[in-house]
Amino acid sequence: MNAGRAAVALALALVACTSPSPPSLEPTATPTPAPSPTAEDTHVLGVIASVTGPSRLADRPFLDGMALAEAELNEGGGVAGRPLRLEVVDDAGDAAPPGRALSDVLRADGPDAILVVGEGGPIVDLRPEIQARGRPVVLLGADLYSDRLLYRQVFQTSPPLRWQARSVARYLTRDRAHRRIVAVQQPGDPARSAFLDELRRQGVDVEATLGLGDGRLADRAGGADALIALVDLERLDAVLRAVDRLDDPPQLVLPADLLRTDLDDIPPGTVAPGPYTWAPWARPISRVRAFRSSFRRRIGRLPVASEQEGYDAVRILAAGLEAGRAGDGLVRFLERHRPTGPVFSSTSVTLGPDDHLFQGELWLGLYAVPGPDERPEPWLVGTRWRPIVRTFSYTGQRTLYPERDRRVFFPFWRPGRPSPRFGRSRWGIVTGPEDPLH
């Protein structure tokens, strides 16, 4: 089972037990089903995901975000006057042969585009078939960009591990001035090696250890300034136990997929990368608030994060279909959105011809678990994570938020003025690098 998918699956299960207002996975409402039109008058998007099997909980948020987009588009008159339908194919997680579901969808009369949740391996293995069909494929919840495995027909919604590592590297070296940094990576999971590779390319001297046993890990982490835990949530508990045994524990750094959980025993000062429009926190931003409200009304719970990826993927594909694009024309439509593409629930979809990624690297910063005496934003329910505002900048001084969102954080700012300094934000963590916790 993919490490990221396992992490989210367990996170969703645990959140129901730890959140003060749990976002239950059982919906109290579902989107109004679309009518059942004939194939000739319907736009179809194929979806490969686990509806059953061990990955079903991990894939559920992506599917719920897609379902919300489908319902909203059809209630608004469809796409170019035609209904939109999601054709979901269950890959049954680890129970099915790799790539079988995707291979079945790659038929001559197949869907207008394909969305693949989770593992990216089948996309790599089936490259000749995908290129021959010429239709776009959108990958959600996994990373092919960091290992340079994307190609012209494939687009990716999640922030690459290399981008995450660069954000972490700036923070560890510039803000915290940490000297001894230890990383733990679970054996048999090479997927996150790109994170460590990029840290070293950025000049961070990382001591890597594969030991997850409490004794060995505690020994290696003793005296470290920071511990980067490149593990899934099932193994995070062993890391937390090891850190808890130390008299002077290191600062804990997690990958972006573990931002989706809020375990009570994650120590204050823990950081993880994420975009500033991360839905569980970013309610002040009007489009995120609208997305959260619509999602809760239709699905019956609040989003945990990856719903935004599913939602925005369907919306950008629908925009291309609305413009009359199909096949390679739809690929070209997606590539045109650079540097500022359409905005749906999150940041601009800025795919471009060079990277094929949904978000820009500038808008990826760090979130932190606050200390016990820090006052959280009044709307926060079910998560303690808050953005460290200075990490959404080049130099740690002036923020990089797009102009459309600056006044959400800086009400005094006006167009034409320099971007505001991070310490004047009314939301988030606005302390400087001298902050002893984060």
Predicted confidence at residue 262, as pLDDT, reads 67
Q: Are strands 364-368 and 271-275 parallel, antiparallel or unpaired?
A: antiparallel
Model confidence band, residue 188 (pLDDT cutoffs 50, 70, 90): low
Residue 365: phi and psi, rounded to 5, are -135, -150
- The residue among 14, 123, 103, 101 whose CA lies nearest residue 52 is 101
Q: Could you read off the pLDDT of 364-396 as tens digits, one per residue? A: 999 999 988 888 888 887 788 999 999 999 888
Q: Could you read off the pLDDT of 382-432 as tens digits, one per residue? A: 788 999 999 999 888 999 999 999 999 999 999 999 999 999 999 999 999
**Mapped to the 3 state alphabet, what secondary structure does 280-327 carry?**
CCCCCCHHHHHHHHHHHHHHCCCCCCCHHHHHHHHHHHHHHHHCCCCC
Q: Could you read off the pLDDT of 138-177 as tens digits, one per residue? A: 999 999 999 999 999 999 999 999 999 999 999 998 889 9
Give exposure, 319-332, as e/b (b: 16+ Cβ within 10 Å): bbbbeebbeeebbe
* Identity of the amino acid at 370: P
Q: Could you read off the pLDDT of 302-334 as tens digits, one per residue? A: 998 899 999 999 999 999 999 999 999 999 999
Residue 18: exposed, middle, or buried by beta-carbon count in 10 A (0-12, 13-18, 19+)? middle
- How far apart are alpha carbons 86 and 92 in whole angstroms? 17
Helix ranges (H only) for 211-285 are: 214-221, 233-244
Q: Could you read off the pLDDT of 254-293 as tens digits, one per residue? A: 999 888 776 778 899 999 999 999 999 999 999 999 999 9
Cβ atoms of 354 and 341 within 8 Å: the answer is: no
What does the pLDDT average to over 108-129? Answer: 92
- How far apart are alpha carbons 82 and 69 in whole angstroms? 15
How many other β-carbons are positioned within 10 Å of the β-carbon of residue 431? 16
What does the pLDDT average to over 27-43? Answer: 55
Coil/strand/helix, residue 353: helix
Q: Could you read off the pLDDT of 212-246 as tens digits, one per residue? A: 665 678 888 888 999 999 988 778 888 888 888 88
